[in-house]
Structure 1
Amino acid sequence: MIHHEGVHHVSLIVTDIERAKAFYRDVIGLREIQRPAFDFEGAWYAVGSGGQQLHLLVHEGETKRTGGIDTRDGHFAIRVADFDETIRWLDQCGIPHRHNRNSITGFSQIFLLDPDHNVIELNAARHDS
């Protein structure tokens, strides 16, 4: 039997590391962390305070999507503290997104794309009135 301790990291393919780093730093607000000296470009980020990481890998493979926001496509999710504040920030940054405050999931969801069309979900606890 495998005894899980948690998700360590998610890796995403990007084509322009500087553009991707600016997005994940300036829009998503992640803190870059040290990365080993691999023989290819990339960047690592801390996600939250539980040790989870996001790894960006520069790769010209065929796994990148070209369409718009598809909430059923492969994605990763980051929990955010405030749904409304996050919507306002994305609007201020001019980032297209789709959101559902009253998702059937039991939490509020926001979906957006990074510059390489990787799907990101930002979700928040729902406070039903």
Structure 2
Amino acid sequence: MDATAHHYAITVTDLERAVEFYRDVLGLDVSSRFSVGGDAFATGVGVDGASAEFAHLDAGGSRLELVSYDPEGDERSDPQLNEPSATHLGLEVDDLVSVYEELPEDIETLSEPQTTESGTTILFVVDPEGNLVELLQP
């Protein structure tokens, strides 16, 4: 098998709010929006009667897929990076300190930018759905 990455997906409860965050705060461009439903989709995702609204955003050569399902699943607890099955999205930026300084005041972060032993500067922000996004500068 020759698998290649197609997209990275985040399930959200409020698609508009999520699109605004990734577009307006993180600067990703919306490349498409669409809906999917029907028996084949519901069977494929393993959710009876499922339909979904999608937004695809351009993350510099990678595709970020935001998806909002109907019916909506149960909420999960606050994510912790050290928990098994924890996930996060990583986005590289040119000047992390400037990005941090320009973040709107209502954007939650885990800390100020930190330079690790590897020399990479990292900053984790929390999106409106509680998902962790790592902004990094190598």
Name the TM-score, length of structure 1 as normaliser: 0.78
| 2:42 aligned residue | none
| 1:67 aligned residue | 78
Supply the AA of the counterpart residue of 2:20: A
CA distance, structure 2, for counterparts of residue 32 and residue 119 of structure 1: 20
| Corresponding residue SS for 1:87 | helix
Number of equivalenced pairs: 118
Assess if the C-alpha contact under 8 Å between 2:35 and 2:54 holds in 1.
no
Q: Max radius of gyration: which structure?
A: 2
Assess if the C-alpha contact under 8 Å between 1:44 and 1:55 holds in 2.
yes
Q: Give ranges in structure 1 of 5+ residues lacking alignment.
A: none
CA distance, structure 2, for counterparts of residue 35 and residue 100 of structure 1: 33
1:58 aligns with 2:56: no
What is the identity percentage for the equivalent residue pairs of Structure 1 and Structure 2? Answer: 31
| 1:82 aligned residue | 95
Supply the AA of the counterpart residue of 1:54: L
Q: CA RMSD in A?
A: 2.1
Write out per-residue CA displacement over residues 14-39 of structure 1, whole angstroms, 9 at most, x where no aligned residue.
Answer: 00111111111111110001245423
CA displacement at 1:74 relative to structure 2: 1.4
Q: Where does structure 1 differ by over 3 angstroms across 4 or more consecutive aligned residues?
A: 2-5, 70-73
CA displacement at 1:81 relative to structure 2: 0.8
| Corresponding residue SS for 2:115 | coil
Q: Give ranges in structure 2 of 5+ residues lacking alignment.
A: 38-51
Name the TM-score, length of structure 2 as normaliser: 0.74
| 2:56 aligned residue | 44
